[in-house]
Amino acid sequence: MPETHLVTGAAGFIGFHLANRLLKEGHRVIGFDSVTEYYDPVLKRRRLEILGKQEGFDFVEEALETPGALDALFSHVRPAMVWHLAAQAGVRYSLEAPESYLQSNITGTFRLLEAARAHPPRHLMLASTSSVYGANGKMPYAETDRADWQMSFYAATKKATEAMAHSYAHLYGLPTTMFRFFTVYGTWGRPDMAYFKFAERIMAGRPIDIYNHGDMSRDFTYVDDLVEGLIRLGGAVPPAPGARGAPIPGDSLSPVAPWRVVNIGNSAPVKLMDFVAALERALGRKAKYNFVGMQPGDVPATWADASLLEALVGALPRTPLEVGLRHFAEWYLMEYHKPEPVA
């Protein structure tokens, strides 16, 4: 049955894909985004243009942290589902502008939680990140593993939002699912992400920086697979204490609140140099390499244990890396690539 869904960060990479999927399923979608200049706002406007051409989409351009903005919106539209994807993203940028993370990720999420407390949705879905696992060396990462040693301020703010949301779920009975993303890639992506930067430099004939001298791996997750996981997970509302059946092995369900955290990843880490080779094939160009050391705040590897996700929603599609990068390359070359002028 069609419902009203609020998607914060609707002009962003994942928010755009999620909103697009919800619209195609016949839901009304309220997009909320401040359209910052952290990366190319023209790209964000183009995403919004695509969403705006579809029936059922409305957009509010405002910052999360603006006092009263979210509360007024919640009271007006009363969303059945809330998908909180808006955030100041990026590990490396958090070294340069940490206060923007404090405002958007902490204060902004607080404003959202307050609005949800006053006007409770059926299910509150909040984005976290695999970066919260930080210095935990156990692989693959499971939701019940310790996540206490964040390596960047970005990761620290996202871990804080998990704790904040848990407290609201406990105090006000808000059914809440936190989802930890693992290196999402695909069409209409973010220019600040490594694969996007690689594509730009490869096509321009400039060397790409290979961190930790190539000794890195990531659990790359294609955006369409991620959105499918989110849609299914939206239907898996965490039950309140006292209303639970048989426990699910490895569940992160809180003992005192209708709250859980779930990994969304491909469960198949790929070595960085293998990823670059696949991107080269997709673009039809060879890269020039500049091998450098590890960046502050970064981790050498990520690997999701997705068994809880599959226990909750069933087996998910896993787009092969070659296929996902081919889709990205086709979009990038047709829609975004700007050839440098010949001198």
Active site residue 141: no
Residue type at 148? Answer: D
**What is the pLDDT at residue 341?**
52
Q: How far apart are alpha carbons 50 and 242 in whole angstroms?
A: 44
**pLDDT of the residue at 127:** 98
314 in a structural domain: yes
300 phi-psi bin (left φ>0, alpha ψ -120 to 50, beta other): alpha
Counting the structural domains of the chain, the total is 1
Does residue 213 belong to any structural domain of this protein?
Answer: no
What CATH number is associated with residue 66? 3.40.50.720
User: For residues 277 and 242, which has the higher predicted lDDT (pLDDT)?
Assistant: 277
Provide the pLDDT confidence category of residue 340 given band limits of 50, 70 and 90.
Answer: low
**Domain-located, residue 196:** no
- Determine, yes or no, domain membership for 288: no
Give per-residue pLDDT as tens, 183-237. Answer: 999 999 999 999 999 999 999 999 999 999 999 999 999 999 999 999 999 999 9
Q: Round to whole Å and give the CA distance between 335 and 324.
A: 16
Domain that holds residue 134: 4-189+221-265+303-318
Model confidence over 34-57: pLDDT tens digits? 999 988 999 999 999 999 999 999
pLDDT digits (tens, 9 = 90+) for 264-322: 999 999 999 999 999 999 999 999 999 999 988 788 888 899 999 999 999 999 999 99
> pLDDT over 90 for what percent of the chain?
88
pLDDT band for position 137 (cuts 50, 70, 90): confident
User: Given 38, 93, 133, 154, which residue is catalytic?
Assistant: 154
Closest CA to 31 of 40, 45, 39, 185: 45
Domain presence at residue 333: no
> Per this entry, what is the length of the chain?
343
Across the range 75-99, mean pLDDT stands at 91
Mean of pLDDT over the chain: 95
Out of 89-98, 197-206, 256-265, 322-331, least confident range: 89-98
Does 150 fall in a domain?
yes
Given this model, what pLDDT does residue 342 score?
44
Average pLDDT of the segment spanning 73-97: 92
203/15 Cα distance (integer angstroms): 27
- Give the gyration radius of the chain's Cα atoms: 20
SS3 sequence, the chain?
CCCEEEEECCCCHHHHHHHHHHHHCCCEEEEEECCCCCCCHHHHHHHHHHHHCCCCEEEEECCCCCCCHHHHHHHHHCCCEEEECCCCCCCCHHHHCHHHHHHHHHHHHHHHHHHHHHCCCCEEEEEEEHHHHCCCCCCCECCCCCCCCCCCHHHHHHHHHHHHHHHHHHHHCCCEEEEEECCEECCCCCCCCHHHHHHHHHHHCCCEEEHHHHCCEECCEEHHHHHHHHHHHHCCCCCCCCCCCCCCCCCCCCCCCCEEEEEECCCCCEEHHHHHHHHHHHHCCCCCEEECCCCCCCCCECCECCHHHHHHHCCCCCCCHHHHHHHHHHHHHHHHCCCCCCC
Residue 9 lies in a domain: yes
Higher pLDDT, 1 or 224: 224
Q: Is residue 166 part of a domain?
A: yes
Q: Taking 70 as the threshold, does the pLDDT of residue 247 lie above it? A: yes
